[in-house]
Structure 1
Amino acid sequence: MYTPGTVSILEGLVAMLDVSQGTITGVGILAVVVLVAFSAFFASSEIAIFSLADHRIATLVEDEVAGAETLSTLKADPRRLLVTILVGNNVANIGMSAITTGLLGLYFDPGQSVLIATFGVTSLVLLFGESAPKSYAVEHSQSWALRIARPLRLMQQLMYPLVAVFDVLTDGVNRLMGSEGTLEEVYVTRSEVEEVITAGQRAGVFTDAEHQMLQRLLRFHNRIVKETMVPRLDVVAIEVETDLETAIETCLEHDRNELPVYEGVLDTVVGTVHVRDLVDAQFRGETVSLRAVASEPHVVPETKDVDELLTELREKRRRMAIVVDEYGTTSGIVTIEDIVEEIIGEVLTEQEATPIRWLEDDTAIVRGELNVHEVNEATGTELPESGTFETIAGLIMDRTGRLVDEGDRVTYDGVVLVAETVANNRVLEVRVDLSKREDQSGAAKDA
């Protein structure tokens, strides 16, 4: 910024120090270069440090990386750090403008000096003080942040009076504007994590299998037991008066390691029994009842979070929980294996049918009890996953609003769902037809 006093001061220095005008010009140019460097330093510091997430800095501190402790100290007070950077940057830019205007005043008239200084300094700052250093900091945020952490901390201490004053003033202005005076906490939303995972899969960082597992892990946090359990109709259980030999045969026949034990009806579960305990009791020749061999049942409501249940089962060293509805009626069971399959995908036993069979490239047969999100993963569809249903069979019933007969169909976003096999009012298999969806997308492209 041009002021008549700036030129007068420089001319006075020339006369007082008895130095040439060229020497003053050289010193001024050197000062401008130094100030451009300071401007670049502060501008790049802001981008580099604020681009690093707090958890990343914490990891660097744990790994004892050089400069990480200082970087953590700076980031611990983000407002003061921002004030330090802005004060330093503005002091450098204003000083650069004043010196440049004064130097030009030695060679040009006042109007020309202001004009040249305005456009010259602006171009200089934009290129070497802002654009180039910030671009570099974006590409090398971690390494550059570690490198400049200690010098920036030193500058913060040297400029402490200015920083402290402007920190207080900033806090006052923020409060007048209704702000609490603190910077918003940096956080990462679940949707942002999903976007990062998807971007990683597209870039080849994750395989398709890893991508699906990570997506399941994100969904796992919000799932309840009702969405994971084996429904009541599929529960294999034994009556408490059953003898040991028959109980063992039931376990082997249905390929189960552990079974619920009920008295009278399935709503009265008195325990759970493991095939190992049955075989052990029979081997010892003990004539004990099934009730004596069974363990106390672990009963949970349908609405319990799956991740909480997993923690409970691990702590109590249990493998099965009995699930009851709001009326206390047994609605199903859930095992640790069922919970693990929510993350890694379904693990089939020799007696289990494949959950999805592809008849053609655009047609598949899926089991009715399969969760909708699993169908979406396998077929690449976007069927609705929220509602009063969890399974693909439930989706068809929800859309039709009645009990479903074989051949009934519903269409969602070009995907045709057909009740392929129905028995006892239960949809056992659903045909998923994608051909119309492809025709619609092709027609949209042609249009």
Structure 2
Amino acid sequence: MDSETESLFFINILLNLVSSNLIFYTANFIILAVLLLLSGLISGSEIGLFSLSSEDLDRCQDSENSSEQLIVQLLKKPQRLLATILIFNNLINVAIISIATYLTWELVGTRNPQGVVILTLTVIVTVAILFFGELLPKVYANQKSLFFVKRTVKLINIAMKVFNPLSYVLMQMSNVVEKRIKKRGYPVDIKGLEGVIDRTDTTHKQREILKGIVNFGTITAKQVMTSRLAVTAFDINTDFSELLEKIQECGYSRIPIYSDTIDNIKGVLYVKDLLPFLNANESFKWSKLLRKTYFIPPNKKIDKLLRDFQEKRVHLAIVVDEYGGTAGLVTMEDVIEEIVGEVNDEFDGDREKLYTKIDENSYLFESKISLHDFCKILGINNNFFDEVKGESESLGGLLLERFARLPKLNENIVYDKFEFTVVAMGVRKIKIVKVEIHEDNDDTDN
């Protein structure tokens, strides 16, 4: 073999080595980029899934989109979901570190690199994972939670199935640790807390506010709502001049508007929206000023309702029953009053009073007063009548439940220490009830 042939032979070997190394490094760098992208998607999904607003969750619940339905299903098992995300993300990060370390060994030609090389590798990998795998995707996912999660939820669902055995073991271990480190304490229920509040050295008003805070998370919209019979609402076909007269009479600033019946609420009219049009003629189409109605179920807790009021920037919600009909109305004022007590405005003096105190142990009540308000006035626990009220939420409903028929005038019934006497009747309904408190009574029922 001559010198020229030898040169060509060695050049060919060198080119083959360079070509094979280039393919090797390119392939590994592509794998690293894919793993880094996956790390970012998983990290962003963690923030996105657990920062979805109640409005987003309601939308997903009612949606026919498969991704949005899948989001609802995954969030039903939050502990397992979080365990899966942590396992998946950590495995990806370990893979990134392992491949980066192997590439470094290949580049420097030794598995015992100098300290400078190790430091450089650590800095590069840490910055890449923190910025591209954690910080950037989490910031984006926090701003566009639903958009981000809809595009990653199927990947998370696959991961939940693949890592199910590992996540189960992790959850069991965390439960064991949690039980072992959990501090021992005394079980305290709401009744116990109220007893503690009663013994505090504070004013009566302060004690009532504290009790309101303690009970706040247990009260439902149905307990504080104004029932449909007492709701002030106007027909959408009302003439503009007639509408203005009715608004002046009622004194409310926000009024539900219906079509045909109160079960068909079309929107809420804000009186302030009418101010620029006070001089308009009768044909003015005031219905175009209606704002969107916020509908809620009767069992919605008022602490969550208050949060929704704040997020949606509304002050009024329509409570709908299981058939979609209007059950009542709840305002921001109703919710706040559960903490601070009655909030009276300049119109409250003209509105109907639902009770009159005769003496320390005798009252006259309108039958339509809610049992929740009835208990507050008499200073008894909200669930005092739970065993006997059935589905009723008003005083009149409670008495009909106890009588099991329409009572006669002056007919009475006793429950616990309370004696109820019907003192006024309407057409097929109870109007006014006299309530007498007998402190020495045991549980009796006549």
TM-score w.r.t. length of structure 1: 0.53
Q: Secondary structure at the match of 1:430?
A: strand
Q: Is the 8 A contact 1:231 1:331 kept in 2?
A: yes
Q: Secondary structure at the match of 2:350?
A: coil
Match of 1:391 among 391, 394, 398: 394
Deviation at 1:286, TM superposition (A): 9.9
Match of 2:311 among 304, 312, 315: 315
Deviation at 1:426, TM superposition (A): 3.4
Question: Unaligned 5+ residue runs, structure 2?
Answer: 1-172
Q: Is the 8 A contact 1:372 1:385 kept in 2?
A: no
Q: Which residue pairs with 1:184 in the alignment?
A: 182
Write the distance in 1 (CA, Å) between the matches of 2:407 and 2:274. 41
Q: Is the 8 A contact 1:194 1:215 kept in 2?
A: no
Cα 1:427–1:187 shift into 2, 3 Å:
farther
Write the distance in 2 (CA, Å) between the matches of 1:226 and 1:360. 30
Q: Is the 8 A contact 1:248 1:278 kept in 2?
A: no
Matches within 5 A, 1:102-251: 182-186=180-184, 191=189, 194-204=191-201, 206-251=202-247
Match of 1:407 among 391, 410, 419: 410
Deviation track 1:355-388 (CA, whole Å, cap 9, x = no partner) reads: 3322133211123233334433433556424542
Deviation at 1:317, TM superposition (A): 1.2
Give RMSD over aligned pairs: 2.9
Q: Is the 8 A contact 1:419 1:431 kept in 2?
A: yes
Higher mean displacement: 209-218 or 331-340: 209-218
Matches within 5 A, 1:328-347: 328-347=324-343
Match of 1:275 among 271, 274, 295: 271
Q: Which residue pairs with 1:366 in the alignment?
A: 365
Cα 1:214–1:187 shift into 2, 3 Å:
same
Cα 1:424–1:230 shift into 2, 3 Å:
farther
User: Number of matched residues?
Assistant: 261
Q: Which residue pairs with 1:376 in the alignment?
A: 375
Cα 1:222–1:421 shift into 2, 3 Å:
same
Paired AA for residue 428 in structure 1:
K
Paired AA for residue 357 in structure 1:
T
Q: Is the 8 A contact 2:356 2:365 kept in 1?
A: yes
Write the distance in 1 (CA, Å) between the matches of 2:297 and 2:363. 34
Q: Which residue pairs with 2:44 in the alignment?
A: none
Paired AA for residue 265 in structure 1:
T
Q: Is the 8 A contact 1:201 1:207 kept in 2?
A: no
Deviation at 1:428, TM superposition (A): 3.1
Q: Is the 8 A contact 2:422 2:430 kept in 1?
A: yes
Q: Is the 8 A contact 2:234 2:257 kept in 1?
A: yes
Cα 1:314–1:287 shift into 2, 3 Å:
farther
Cα 1:239–1:200 shift into 2, 3 Å:
closer
Write the distance in 2 (CA, Å) between the matches of 1:297 and 1:272. 6
Q: Secondary structure at the match of 1:210?
A: helix
Q: Is the 8 A contact 2:221 2:299 kept in 1?
A: yes
Q: Secondary structure at the match of 1:215?
A: helix
Paired AA for residue 355 in structure 1:
L
Deviation at 1:416, TM superposition (A): 0.2
Q: Is the 8 A contact 1:220 1:342 kept in 2?
A: yes
Question: Unaligned 5+ residue runs, structure 1?
Answer: 1-174, 442-447
Paired AA for residue 359 in structure 1:
I
Deviation at 1:326, TM superposition (A): 0.8
Deviation at 1:179, TM superposition (A): 10
Paired AA for residue 225 in structure 1:
A
Write the distance in 1 (CA, Å) between the matches of 2:191 and 2:211. 7
Deviation track 1:160-216 (CA, whole Å, cap 9, x = no partner) reads: xxxxxxxxxxxxxxx9xx99871434567551x653443343342x22222222222
Deviation at 1:283, TM superposition (A): 4.5
Write the distance in 1 (CA, Å) between the matches of 2:213 and 2:366. 23
Q: Is the 8 A contact 2:197 2:210 kept in 1?
A: no
Match of 1:423 among 392, 416, 426: 426
Match of 2:293 among 291, 297, 300: 297
Deviation at 1:261, TM superposition (A): 0.9
TM-score w.r.t. length of structure 2: 0.53
Write the distance in 2 (CA, Å) between the matches of 1:180 and 1:334. 40
Deviation at 1:296, TM superposition (A): 1.5
Deviation track 1:257-279 (CA, whole Å, cap 9, x = no partner) reads: 11111111111111110111123
Write the distance in 2 (CA, Å) between the matches of 1:368 and 1:395. 9
Match of 2:252 among 248, 253, 256: 256
Q: Is the 8 A contact 1:355 1:370 kept in 2?
A: yes
Paired AA for residue 199 in structure 2:
R
Q: Is the 8 A contact 1:396 1:409 kept in 2?
A: no
Cα 1:181–1:352 shift into 2, 3 Å:
closer
Q: Is the 8 A contact 2:240 2:281 kept in 1?
A: no
